[in-house]
Structure 1
Amino acid sequence: MDTPSRIKQLRQQLGISRSALARKSGISLTYLNEIERGIKSPTEHTLRKLCSALGLSLAEFFAGDGQGEELPADVRRMIAIARQLTPRQRQLLLEVMEEWLANNQG
């Protein structure tokens, strides 16, 4: 897997700028630029920070290497946002989504 390309691809799919990803992940913009250009390789810790900022796990990051089906960008973004909610907020959101689904299966 080409880690620099994968980071850039995911970032672009989510519509996140380099500076926003750097800020959200807590790494410097310079370092992120060097990672995306393949000049530097991220440590596991840095890659975990980037994945968290992109709303996915390390497993999801590596699973999307063309071996299997990837989640659409909007679904990954929903997951990233849901991870920031409280358990109660997630439960309420889930109930709303289930209600929408039940009402649209008509």
Structure 2
Amino acid sequence: MSRYRLAQKSGIAQSSISTLLNRKSVPTIQTLEKICDGFGITLSQFFAEDDKVLDLTKDQEELLKDWNSMDSRQQELVKAYIQGIIRK
């Protein structure tokens, strides 16, 4: 993901992202949360080692892996489908 795209998705200025990536400043927790939102991950996933998602069942890990391989349109369709099931 480019710095420009991350800036768009996270709502953080591109210059701020560049400063962080060039190790000229240390991000706050709020900034890390925004970056994680931009990547579509949680802080727990951000800090997890060996690409392991913390506290998830095998089925949940598989679903998350599938989710991460979808584009944003597919994710929106899945969310709408799930909400439809829940509200029935």
Task: Say yes or no: TM over 0.5.
Answer: yes
2:9 and 2:38 in contact (8 A); partners too: yes
Q: Does 1:24 align with 2:9?
A: yes
Secondary structure at the counterpart of residue 40 of structure 1: coil
Alignment partner of 1:89 out of 66, 81, 84: 81
Q: Which amino acid aligns with 1:78?
A: S
Q: Which amino acid aligns with 1:88?
A: A
Q: Does 1:58 align with 2:43?
A: yes
Cα deviation, 1:13-55, whole Å, max 9, x if unaligned, reads: xxx1110101110111110001011101111001000001101
Aligned to 1:35: 20
Deviation (angstroms), 1:90: 4.2
Q: Give the percent of matched residue pairs that are identical in Structure 1 and Structure 2.
A: 29
Q: Normalising to structure 1: TM-score of the pair?
A: 0.53
Q: Normalising to structure 2: TM-score of the pair?
A: 0.62
User: Quick one: structure 1 residues 60 and 80, their matched pair in 2 at CA, closer, same or farther if it must change by over 3 Å?
Assistant: farther
2:45 and 2:52 in contact (8 A); partners too: no
Q: Higher relative contact order by CA 8 Å / sep ≥ 6: 1 or 2?
A: 1
Q: Which amino acid aligns with 2:81?
A: Q
1:56 and 1:80 in contact (8 A); partners too: no
Number of residue pairs matched? 72
Q: Does 1:49 align with 2:43?
A: no
